[in-house]
Amino acid sequence: MRFIFVPILASAAMLSGCGGSEPRPKAADVPAIPVQTATVSIQEWPDVYEATGTVRARTTAVLSSKLMAYVRQVAVQVGDRVREGQLLVTLDSQDLDTNVRRAEAADAEVVSAIPEADNGVAGAKANLDLAQSTFKRMEELAAKKSISNQEFDESSARLKSAQAAYEMARSKRAQLDSKRAEVQQEIRAASIVRDYARISAPFSGVVTAKSVEPGNLAAPGAPLLTIEREGAYRLEASVDESRLPFVKTGQTVDVALESLDRRLSAHVSEIVPAVDAASRAYIVKIDLPVVPNLRSGMFGRAWFSMGARKVVTIPPQAMVERGQLQSVFAIEDGFARTRLVTAGERGQAAIEVLSGLSEGEKLVSPVPSGLADGARVEVRQ
Q: Using one digit for the tens of pLDDT, what is the confidence trace for 52-84? A: 999 999 889 999 999 999 999 999 999 899 999
CATH assignment of the domain containing 293: 2.40.30.170
Among 302, 306, 307, smallest CA distance to 264 is for: 302
Determine, yes or no, domain membership for 147.
Answer: yes
My answer on whether 189 and 102 are in the same domain is yes
Please check whether residues 111 and 184 belong to one and the same domain: yes
How many structural domains are present in the chain? 4
336: CATH = 2.40.420.20
Query: Do 203 and 335 share a structural domain?
Result: no
Assess if residue 10 is contained within a domain.
no
Last residue within a domain, chosen from 213, 228, 243: 228
354 and 336 inside one domain: yes
Q: pLDDT at position 14, please? A: 37
Question: Nearest to residue 100, comparing CAs of 181, 162, 11, 190?
Answer: 190
- Whether residue 20 lies inside any domain: the answer is no
Residues 188 and 125 in one domain: yes
The confidence score (pLDDT) of residue 273 equals 85
75 plus 212 within the same structural domain:
yes
Q: Which of 259, 277, 307 is the last residue of a domain?
A: 307
Same domain for 100 and 175?
yes
What range does the domain containing 257 cover?
49-58+231-307
pTM of the model: 0.58
Q: What is the reported pLDDT for 112?
A: 93
> Quick one: 88 and 99 in the same domain?
no
Q: Is residue 124 part of a domain?
A: yes
Regarding whether 219 and 105 lie in a shared domain, the answer is no
- Model confidence at 381, pLDDT cuts 50, 70, 90, reads low
Same domain, 248 and 373: no
Q: How many helices (H) and strands (E) does the chain have?
A: 3, 23
Query: Confidence class of residue 12 from pLDDT cuts 50, 70 and 90?
Result: very low
78 within some domain: yes
Q: Say if 119 falls within a structural domain.
A: yes
* Inter-residue contact 118 to 150 (CB < 8 Å): no
φ, ψ at 279 (rounded to 5°): -95, -10
Model confidence over 82-141: pLDDT tens digits? 999 999 999 999 999 999 999 999 999 999 999 999 999 999 999 999 999 999 999 889
CATH of the domain at 222: 2.40.50.100
The predicted-structure confidence for 255-298, as pLDDT tens digits, reads as follows: 999 888 888 899 999 999 888 888 889 999 999 998 888 888 89
Percent helix, percent strand, percent coil in the chain, to nearest 5: 35, 40, 30
Residue 17, in any domain of the structure? no
pLDDT tops 60 at residue 26 = no
- Please check whether residues 202 and 293 belong to one and the same domain: no
Q: Residue 340: inside a domain, yes or no?
A: yes
Residue 29's pLDDT band (boundaries 50, 70, 90)? low
> What is the phi/psi pair of residue 96, to 5°?
-70, -40
CATH number at residue 184: 1.10.287.470
Q: How many CA atoms lie within 13 A of 341 on its CB side?
A: 27
- Structural domain ending residue among the three candidates 281, 307, 333: 307
- Do 322 and 334 reside in the same domain of the chain? yes
Distance CA 326, CA 60 (A): 48
